[in-house]
Amino acid sequence: MLALIFYALLFQWLILPVAPELVKHDSSVHLDHILRVTTQNIAVACQTRLSTVVNGTSPGPELRIKPGETTWIRVYNDMESQNLTMHWHGLAQRTAVFSDGSPQGSQWAIPPGHFFDYELHPELGDSGTYFYHSHVGVQAITASGPLIVEDCGKPPYHYDEERILQWNDFFNQTDEQLEAGLEAVPFVWTGETQGVLLNGQGISIGHNSTGVASCTLPVIDVSPGKTYRFRFIGSTGLSLLSMAFEGHDQLSIIQVDGGEWTKPAPVDRIQLASGQRFDTLFVAKTKKQLKAEKRKTYFLQFETRDRPTVYRGYAVLRYSDSAPLPEYPVQAPLSLPNTTYDWLEYQLQPLYPKPVGVPTLAEVTRRVIMDAVQMMDPNSNQLVWRLAGLSWTDKILQKPLLVDIYLNGEAAMPDYDAALRNNGWDPKTKAFPAKVGEVLEIVFQNRGSLSSPGKLDSHPFHAHGQHFYDIGSGNGTYDAEANEKKLAGMGYRVVQRDTTMLYRYELATAAGAGAPAGWRAWRIRVKQPGVWMIHCHTLQHMVMGMQSAWVIGTAPEILEMPLDESQGYLVYGGDAYGNATYDPTCRHQFGNEKTCKDHWP
């Protein structure tokens, strides 16, 4: 009953009227946050690297916004020669038109020397952990930062304080060098991560701590007896991480991928992929326990998984800021399991089940099989990744799909019938169409490489726009009937996610060319018109084409903004993009209502 009341209130909140209008963004306009993106040499992981940074740091500043309020974030591209967009990971469905941040999908990139004002309006129930990152090339290796949608009133779980734990990879080549190798003929791999950073700190391979901030173990400070909300943010470019706290093996997951509160899920470790977020309750030891154990510091041990080599790193959990930091351990204090594919599968359940939850198999109107395979492109001789037979990057289109639809209407829309005959995508527009009201089942099928015998990877798949119901994963090929029986037999209520893993269930040597080696399945009640991306969140794989663009709805459903109000968004560097001598004209889509209230049942 409480859940029904909650969603009734949510519906009432959603229908508040707004009056979109064009506004000149001069000095009188209020901006909630300003992000300036530059390229500069930074000291990190005991080395110096030319990096894309936000407000001079990596990660960039923590942004906190409220649901029920409109937030304006100005993003400056202060780089000399590179394009930029900013994606609000997990909140894409709460952004204004042209504000999702996917280049050649939903917007033109921000040209060098320009800025763009992004409009966000998270809704009731969106409170949670997100992050922002560049969506151009591999800039997100360093160009990212925490994005927190604050709670309205008391959250459903009690805790005393919170800590953000954002994870990034370190590569000792520049973004330009990494991308050039991935696109080269012959192909040049980036190499494995040379270090994993926690909140921008860590030690890369072959280096020892020097005690300076850029070359030391990261520290998490806690106080005895307190309960903490740890917000784990996976903003790695490549690494799937497994991690655990020495002496603290009782964590409880309470929220996943922002917005969806879960029933408490006890775990002894965290497994975190690029794009994922997990919020956990962490209960610190008491003073009595610390005295008995004669310790004030413990290690957080983290290791990469499903890669040819393993990187192992550490952070320090410190109970007193006066306690000396321990030396880098000679021997690992913990033994973390190697198996990845069984962690939390079919376990997370919503704290507040929705009145209309996951669609049943009988409700599914269409299934799209996304075969994920590496191969050599016969035309370019490049090594590429394909989804459902298509390799997609932002370089294959002359203009963004959403811009094209605004300029040309129905003529720019993908052919739905042609897509049905062609693995789900239209050969002309290179887009996957879907109709509002469809119930889609999207199945990612992992397959052995067609170009490198024995090659097989895991992939974190992320959806822009609507969150999806993750209905599980398994070995071999997907069996819809068997999985439906499994869900029903468990009485399993499915949570909504925006990023989940396609694992490799077979050893690389056992996976023949094109052989099935694991699946992941989603279900979505299609509701939100627009252009949205679904892609692997491994940055190298994105550059190599492991992306897909989805056009949801008809042209009239998509064309939310009148043409006369959209002109500044339809040209690269148009009137909606400002610079040092020009104030942009922006459409205010959401209005200025502030409706954040205590809404938890």
Q: For 128-152, what is each residue's pLDDT tens digit?
A: 999 999 999 999 999 999 999 999 8
- Nearest-5° Cα angle at 120, 155 to 406: 145
pLDDT higher than 50, residue 424: yes
pLDDT higher than 80, residue 598: no
What is the Cα Rg of the chain in Å?
23
Q: Which residues of 349-367 are buried (b: 16+ CB within 10 A; e: fewer)?
A: bbbbbbeeebbebeebeeb
Give CA–CA dist 495/251, Å, rounded: 19
Report how far apart, in Å, the C-alpha atoms of 78 and of each of 36, 98, 151, 494, 584 are: 7, 20, 33, 43, 16
Read off the CATH number of the domain in which 478 is found. Answer: 2.60.40.420
- Predicted pLDDT at 18: 55
Residue 68 in domain: yes
- Predicted pLDDT at 16: 45
Q: Is the pTM of this model over 0.75?
A: yes
Together in a domain, 243 and 371? no
Together in a domain, 553 and 478? yes
Residue 349 in domain: no
106 pLDDT band (50/70/90 cuts)?
very high
Together in a domain, 15 and 140? yes
| Mean pLDDT computed over 558-575 | 95
- Find out whether 573 and 116 touch, Cβ atoms under 8 Å: no
Domains: count for the chain: 3
Which residues have a Cβ under 8 Å from the Cβ of 47 and sit 6 or more positions away? 170, 172, 204, 207
Together in a domain, 242 and 306? yes
Number of other CB atoms surrounding residue 594 within 10 Å: 10
Together in a domain, 61 and 186? no
**Is there a cis peptide before residue 111, judged by omega within 30 degrees of 0?**
no
Q: Of the ranges 9-13, 295-299, 364-368, 386-390, which one carries the lowest mean pLDDT score?
A: 9-13
Strand residues in 121-184 grouped as ranges (E): 128-134, 144-149, 161-170
Residue 348 in domain: no
**Is there a cis peptide before residue 61, judged by omega within 30 degrees of 0?**
no
Residue 460 half-sphere exposure toward CB, CA atoms < 13 A: 26
| Mean pLDDT computed over 209-216 | 88
Copy the structure tokens of residue 459: 């992939």
- Find out whether 139 and 175 touch, Cβ atoms under 8 Å: yes
Residue span of the structural domain in which 172 resides: 156-340
pLDDT tens digits for range 338-392: 999 999 999 999 999 988 899 999 999 999 999 999 999 999 999 999 999 999 9
Residue 346 in domain: no
- In the sheet that holds 516-525, the strands lie side by side as 383-387, 366-376, 439-447, 516-525, 468-474, 496-497
Residue 345 in domain: no
Together in a domain, 139 and 6? yes
- Among 340, 373, 398, the domain-final residue is 340
Q: What are phi and psi of 466, to 5 degrees?
A: -60, 140
- Find out whether 472 and 521 touch, Cβ atoms under 8 Å: yes
85 pLDDT band (50/70/90 cuts)?
very high
pLDDT higher than 90, residue 566: yes
- Among 279, 311, 340, the domain-final residue is 340
Together in a domain, 408 and 534? yes
Report how far apart, in Å, the C-alpha atoms of 239 and of each of 191, 193, 308, 311, 396 are: 12, 7, 11, 9, 27
Copy the structure tokens of residue 576: 């909606």
Together in a domain, 514 and 427? yes
Report how far apart, in Å, the C-alpha atoms of 109 and of each of 112, 155, 532 are: 9, 37, 16
Together in a domain, 541 and 402? yes
Residue 354 in domain: no
Together in a domain, 274 and 402? no
Residue 355 in domain: no
Q: Are strands 195-198 and 585-588 parallel, antiparallel or unpaired?
A: unpaired
Give CA–CA dist 232/218, Å, rounded: 14
pLDDT tens digits for range 300-344: 999 999 999 999 999 999 998 888 999 999 999 999 999 999 999
Together in a domain, 92 and 142? yes
Together in a domain, 442 and 512? yes
pLDDT tens digits for range 447-465: 999 998 878 999 999 999 9
Name residue, tokens 């009188």: 28
Q: Are strands 47-54 and 33-44 parallel, antiparallel or unpaired?
A: antiparallel
Residue 81 in domain: yes
